[in-house]
Amino acid sequence: MSDTRFSLSAEQLRALAQEALATATRLGASAAEVDVGLGHGLDVTVRLGEVETLEYARDRGLSVTTWVGQRRGHASTSDISPAAIAETVAAALAIARHTGEDPFTGLPETDLLAWGAPDLDLCHPWALDSEQAIALACRMEAAAMAVDTRIDNSDGASVSSHVNRFVYANSLGFCDGYDSSRHSLYCSVIAGEDEAMQRDDWYSVARSADALEAAEALGRRAGERTVARLGARKIATCEVPVLFEAGIAASLIGHWVGAVSGSSLYRRSSFLLDSVGQTVFAPCVSIDEVPDLPRGLGSAPFDNEGVRPQRRRLVDAGVQQGYFLSSYSARKLALRSTGNAGGPHNLLVQPGDAGFDDLLHELGRGLLVTELMGQGVNLVTGDYSRGASGFWVEEGRIVHPVEEITIAGNLRDIYRGIRAVGKDVLVRGGRQCGSILIDRMTVAGS
């Protein structure tokens, strides 16, 4: 679906990209690539029924990378007039001529480019004006605050809608682009009991507005989660099974992505060096990359270099099958690009048969984690230590909320200690997975 509110057509963007490439060649570049794009959007936040922020965004920009032999230069501009484009290309070339040679830099191999890229149905504009967005946010917040009289304050409710159009072109003859959209709803409220206060939130993200969670239901979910945290307490330090709720379980997958991405590998700064063919996860874990998932939040017909990503299994029954590589990192490792310049595309952790309640039952006695804080993850060693809050579980049932604790371990042990992956998959981005049950972690409390 297209959006007529873009100020320039896709054909006009292609013409600008080709103009930049022609200028680069004329000025002496041996190779070049150009990315030109437009975007516009609306962001509204209300708090306690009053508008707190109302923002309209309209962006445009062009970036160009040029090579002079094995010397690379990059420049960008938000002015896409012909004169500004010529100046930007000249600036990129000036930088290239003053940088050192790098034998691994350059455009991707021609046979890897996404010639004839498919339409993945990624653009679904939302016909939403500011008054409608404000009303929607107010309904969401009101539904959250109506859950319980102890909810007496709000961090706000937000509605966001953005659409983008871009074209990528390079001097190998590749020139293509696509439109995309991203919409979201968010609500966070605060509850108080005696002198204690708690907050929690809930949100929904989708390419199409009709795939978003209903505003009132989302607000109620935020309110219910907030009230459930009242009465939170510390627990004694222990070593117990830990269940990561689906909403944060994807963060565990994110650490794995970082450890098996090209830049970490060629810098030798990963605890998963040379891991292809090795057992990294428990046998219950399989992970697929599905870049061509229609309307997928991580879908793309090609990566930041125009390379077509492929459907592939990256983890098969716990065994690592591949890495995430750009052209540059692939050359550094004497491998081929995997179409991941810019990151992975729709990582799907294959769900098991257990629902959330089943996982609680299997957990038995231990910790359910619903929020993580801090950045205590070392991808060089795999050491993991983060602040957390959630709920204490006894005999498979939630007993009371927990706060001011730290969960710790090493990602090698955590990944291999995954006991089950739930079928309660929550789709909020390019990493999709259900709740994850770890057989044992250290929980530091009082």
For the cut 80, the answer to whether the pLDDT of residue 394 exceeds it is yes
Summarised one tens digit per residue, pLDDT across range 125-173 is 999 999 999 999 999 999 999 999 999 999 999 999 999 999 999 999 9
DSSP string, 56-87: EEEEEEEEEEEEETTEEEEEEES--SHHHHHH
For the cut 60, the answer to whether the pLDDT of residue 376 exceeds it is yes
Amino acid at residue number 418: I
- C-alpha to C-alpha distance for 93 and 241, rounded to whole angstroms: 56
Summarised one tens digit per residue, pLDDT across range 198-218 is 999 999 999 999 999 999 999
The whole-number average pLDDT for the span 21-26 is: 97
Closest listed residue to residue 205, CA positions, set 131, 115, 296: 296
For the cut 90, the answer to whether the pLDDT of residue 374 exceeds it is no
Stated pTM of the model? 0.94
The whole-number average pLDDT for the span 2-11 is: 76
pLDDT at 3: 44
**All structural domains of the chain with their residue ranges:** 10-228, 238-444
For the cut 70, the answer to whether the pLDDT of residue 188 exceeds it is yes
Q: Where are the alpha helices (DSSP H) in 110-205?
A: 130-145
For the cut 70, the answer to whether the pLDDT of residue 1 exceeds it is no
Is residue 404 within 8 Å of 415, Cβ to Cβ?
no
**Range 10-228: architecture per CATH:** 2-Layer Sandwich (3.30)
- C-alpha to C-alpha distance for 274 and 276, rounded to whole angstroms: 6
Is residue 419 within 8 Å of 240, Cβ to Cβ?
no
Helix/strand/coil percentages in the chain, nearest 5 = 25, 40, 35
pLDDT at 340: 97
How many H helices and E strands in the chain? Answer: 9, 17
The whole-number average pLDDT for the span 61-81 is: 96
For the cut 70, the answer to whether the pLDDT of residue 406 exceeds it is yes
For the cut 90, the answer to whether the pLDDT of residue 290 exceeds it is yes
Summarised one tens digit per residue, pLDDT across range 319-372 is 999 999 999 999 999 999 999 999 999 999 999 999 999 999 999 999 999 999
**Residue 2: pLDDT band with limits 50, 70, 90:** very low
For the cut 80, the answer to whether the pLDDT of residue 4 exceeds it is no
